[in-house]
Chains A and B, each alone.
Chain A
């Protein structure tokens, strides 16, 4: 859709339906040029600035802390230590204790006598300028006594008070919580242990271990917070995804009345879950502003952001799948260890559990078990990152489907076809107890394979293998689904989550016929202003340009659950539809009254109440004006025309898609060149195809980055090595190819619009597609895994792990040697004796 076409439709009036149109985003000009209210752009009279002093050690006792020199420095107003604020600061809250007996250390905003990860705050310098605060921070003198650091999640899980290293010795354990789901116990399926035993006797069992490396969300705008104390009132601006949740939690932790708190998320530059957090930096800025009675700002540096803003992923996974010899999967078992880092973050403990209900993906597995042990280590805390729990399990299951196909000598697509839920089986209740409302895996896969040229690429792969071409070709498949639209509040209650999953919206008709929309969903790059305008324009029959969307301010849109988990449109959009419909219903009797007609004789189309069979009618804007003047309203009708609605979803939504990746592997260098990437996503009804494509592209790149480039690496002392963008490789457009994207549409039946959510799809689906492609290319070399990120070094060493000659023999860390030795693998891959298997 071009700009010209947009203009033409404006000229011809409101005939085109907005939903489904490629609208360019209303908000982009100000966001792209930066001429907007980013938190760091806010400057208030008399404002003070904070610089943090952070621990260079992963685990240490603070033996000496001298702030006198810093306090004496030019224009320094105050220097605060943990001792100074220990009564006041409380402990950062954890909103999702997945088990009642979850072990969680106290989380002070400023460390009091011990630091638990490199990057933890030990002192706060407040000065009249940011530069002076930073200069003075260099003068704070801290002595540490280093303590042994718990760094490896598996070792952490094995440690206790008697052996190994504890991240928080006072807890006596590193284990935070153990959470399980078993389909036999839940009554949603049969026993997985029986399924595995049966397959060992007569069938195939494949078991693998995978490592979900630690990632850094690396949002574009660093975190920033400004606090303005005015009398008893505190206004907090924060670069956050969750202003509403923050307002509640600030009040709860600090004992401030919620009514004295206004939290504003102005324009926010990205989050990916990384700004779904309540942070020490926010508490510190609030405490500083309250103490000093002046506005205070803190903006982190990029180095601080990479080190101290929460990380994502970081799981060790053991996955076992059992199947009959014809490729019918009979059971799936997952054992995870999830690293929470040094503290249990707001959602941290629950993130792995978000994966538990869709690890069975699109398949009809009859037996299923999921176990996760969360552990504490002396690393940066871990919490939601794009997909949150779902990419991790999707990776494991989509990887092992390829491994199973290889064991069976089946085409991996054929294996998936054999096991997926067919179109006529929806709605389908899965082995985890969820009911997938709609889906069409056949259609998405057929379209994707056609666009991809699947058969031709398989033929080329065969030719390259036979010719022993130094450049080999791999084809990777990922047929994913996820659960979006978080979440039905009752379900969250059963999972011990601390809040509901509803969303709110308000529609205000202004006297001129313009429309103001308030949403409790809080955008940080998603394009709410555009999509919400499109929905309201259609619903109320008003011009797209006449709709203004307000968000991210608890004093304006006071109710909300904010934005994460691909929930905005499926939950917030539904609230918006309800609010718009309420406005129409309030306007209807007023219109009837003004038109001197019966309500039953009115029909509402194209933004007008028309008296059936006549040319009499009133536009909704005219009704709005009449309610403003209020000169002639029916008895009992309140002046003005507006509405509020709150929607609690009745179920999750289940987007799905088929992603195909072709990867060329240079076997001489291990270098990878992506040849083709095709994805066909089914996200239900599409409100704005342009925004959807942007979400898919961005998600794909983030997921591909996990497969190939990104990893938060710590050294043996627990220091973050990938502490800048020199070493933490965030890709740019130069590193990607032109993706070929398309959609199939199976509208969701659980909401009016039929949407399913698209924010996380690309990031969930692409990672296994890419690694499957890499491994597929390397199968002739006996390779069945390459650890992420699949660096050229790891790929090259995987190729040469078995020949010993060029690589110098033993595979090194990260190389893709099989996870089990030959005998072990043979033992675990029972039934592989008839020639068709192995």
Chain B
């Protein structure tokens, strides 16, 4: 379908982009890779006056090493993230998640920053961000601020990004001694995950010292499975122990019901996927 008419601007710097956003307020919509916004516009579910395209801001593209963290520029495409050696080395769970995200066409257009800013609870990047303790750098006219992953996802399609701000980069701390895995469950390869689980665990001498578990599509935002995390600490990385801890994965979740499964099924599925993700992360 043809979108309603809108103005279009493609600034070349973050400052310029912020200035355009300040000028147009809530009549402006930011477009990154367009993989979510374009369908919304074409189906006329939204009709912004102006679309601000971040695609020409080179500073927002690419992955760099920043000492104790790697930094993924918000406009880095999924495909570039997928093939980035720094991501592979320090955030392999992101590599795994991106490898399964939608399809090759989407991965070549869609961006890391665009996907997390859209904050679809079924998006593949929220749970890994939670499991990796990522930080989100947000620029506004008064400067930049950094938000922890736990505080970034606020509600359905809502993040800590305020009107007039844009996400510029995502910082993922380097850690040693941790393993991580993304376990995704779909019916066809290109669909949103029915449920997915990102697990990161720190195992020493066969014992789980620390664990972070992020859940995809189990509520209005990506969620931490905190009861699983605490139940895992001090446990051996065995099927039996992990199975017992994973049994609580659905606690505090509020999963949707749709054509792919009702909430009860998702509450069951998340326990199986959590067990598998944690065991794989632990190398067990």
Given contacts A131-B2, A303-B43, contact A709 B188 (CB under 8 A): yes
B265 touches A797 (CB 8 A): yes
A791 touches B261 (CB 8 A): yes
* Contact among B189, B265, B273 for A735, CB-based, below 8 A: B189
Q: How far is the CA of A671 from the CA of B261 in the complex (A)?
A: 12
Shortest CB–CB separation between residue A224 and chain B, in angstroms?
Answer: 14
B272 touches A731 (CB 8 A): no
Shortest CB–CB separation between residue B229 and chain A, in angstroms?
Answer: 22
Over the window 1-33 of chain B, the binary record of Cβ atoms lying under 8 Å from chain A Cβ atoms (1 yes, 0 no) is 110110000000000000000000000000000
A713 touches B185 (CB 8 A): no
* Contact among A135, A671, A812 for B5, CB-based, below 8 A: A135
Q: Could you say which of B43, B260, B265 has the most chain A C-beta atoms within 10 Å of its C-beta?
A: B265
Q: How far is the CA of A341 from the CA of B262 in the complex (A)?
A: 28
Write out the residue numbers on chain A whose beta carbons fall within 8 Å of the beta carbon of B2: 130-131, 134
B268 touches A796 (CB 8 A): yes
Over the window 256-284 of chain B, the binary record of Cβ atoms lying under 8 Å from chain A Cβ atoms (1 yes, 0 no) is 00111110110011001100000000000
Given contacts A669-B185, A708-B187, A732-B103, contact A793 B1 (CB under 8 A): no
Write out the residue numbers on chain B whose beta carbons fall within 8 Å of the beta carbon of A729: 187-188, 191
Write out the residue numbers on chain B whose beta carbons fall within 8 Å of the beta carbon of A711: 259
B7-66 at interface with A (beta carbon < 8 Å): 43-44
Shortest CB–CB separation between residue A132 and chain B, in angstroms?
Answer: 9
B268 touches A806 (CB 8 A): yes
Does residue B136 face the partner (Cβ distance < 8 Å to A)?
Answer: no
Write out the residue numbers on chain B whose beta carbons fall within 8 Å of the beta carbon of A135: 4-5
* Contact among B1, B259, B272 for A721, CB-based, below 8 A: B259
- The count of chain B contact residues (Cβ–Cβ below 8 Å) is 26
Write out the residue numbers on chain B whose beta carbons fall within 8 Å of the beta carbon of A722: 259
A792 touches B272 (CB 8 A): no
B187 touches A792 (CB 8 A): yes
Given contacts A303-B1, A727-B259, contact A796 B189 (CB under 8 A): no
* Contact among A134, A670, A713, A791 for B1, CB-based, below 8 A: A134
Q: How far is the CA of A812 from the CA of B268 in the complex (A)?
A: 15
A726 touches B191 (CB 8 A): yes
A734 touches B189 (CB 8 A): yes
Write out the residue numbers on chain B whose beta carbons fall within 8 Å of the beta carbon of A735: 188-189
Q: How far is the CA of A669 from the CA of B273 in the complex (A)?
A: 9
Write out the residue numbers on chain A whose beta carbons fall within 8 Å of the beta carbon of B187: 708-709, 729, 791-792
Write out the residue numbers on chain A whose beta carbons fall within 8 Å of the beta carbon of B43: 303
B44 touches A138 (CB 8 A): yes
A796 touches B265 (CB 8 A): yes
A734 touches B268 (CB 8 A): no
- The count of chain A contact residues (Cβ–Cβ below 8 Å) is 34
Q: How far is the CA of A670 from the CA of B264 in the complex (A)?
A: 14
Q: How far is the CA of A812 from the CA of B1 in the complex (A)?
A: 37
Shortest CB–CB separation between residue A714 and chain B, in angstroms?
Answer: 11
B234-272 at interface with A (beta carbon < 8 Å): 258-262, 264-265, 268-269, 272
Chain A: which residue is nearest B122 at the CB level?
A726
Q: How far is the CA of A721 from the CA of B259 in the complex (A)?
A: 9
Does residue B112 face the partner (Cβ distance < 8 Å to A)?
Answer: no
Does residue B192 face the partner (Cβ distance < 8 Å to A)?
Answer: yes
Q: How far is the CA of A667 from the CA of B43 in the complex (A)?
A: 39
Does residue B190 face the partner (Cβ distance < 8 Å to A)?
Answer: yes
B90-149 at interface with A (beta carbon < 8 Å): 103
A726 touches B188 (CB 8 A): no
Q: How far is the CA of A228 from the CA of B58 in the complex (A)?
A: 48
Given contacts A134-B2, A135-B4, contact A731 B260 (CB under 8 A): no
Shortest CB–CB separation between residue B188 and chain A, in angstroms?
Answer: 5
A671 touches B191 (CB 8 A): no
Q: How far is the CA of A797 from the CA of B266 in the complex (A)?
A: 12
Shortest CB–CB separation between residue A325 and chain B, in angstroms?
Answer: 40
18 contacts between A and B (CB under 8 A): A131-B2, A134-B1, A135-B5, A669-B269, A670-B265, A708-B187, A709-B188, A711-B259, A726-B191, A734-B189, A791-B259, A792-B185, A792-B187, A793-B261, A796-B265, A807-B264, A807-B268, A808-B264
Q: Which 3 A-B pairs have the closest CB atoms?
A: A734-B189, A793-B261, A301-B1
Known contacts A303-B1, A727-B259, A729-B188; 17 additional CB pairs below 8 A are A130-B2, A135-B5, A301-B1, A303-B43, A708-B187, A709-B187, A709-B188, A721-B259, A722-B259, A734-B103, A734-B188, A734-B189, A734-B190, A791-B187, A791-B261, A793-B261, A793-B262
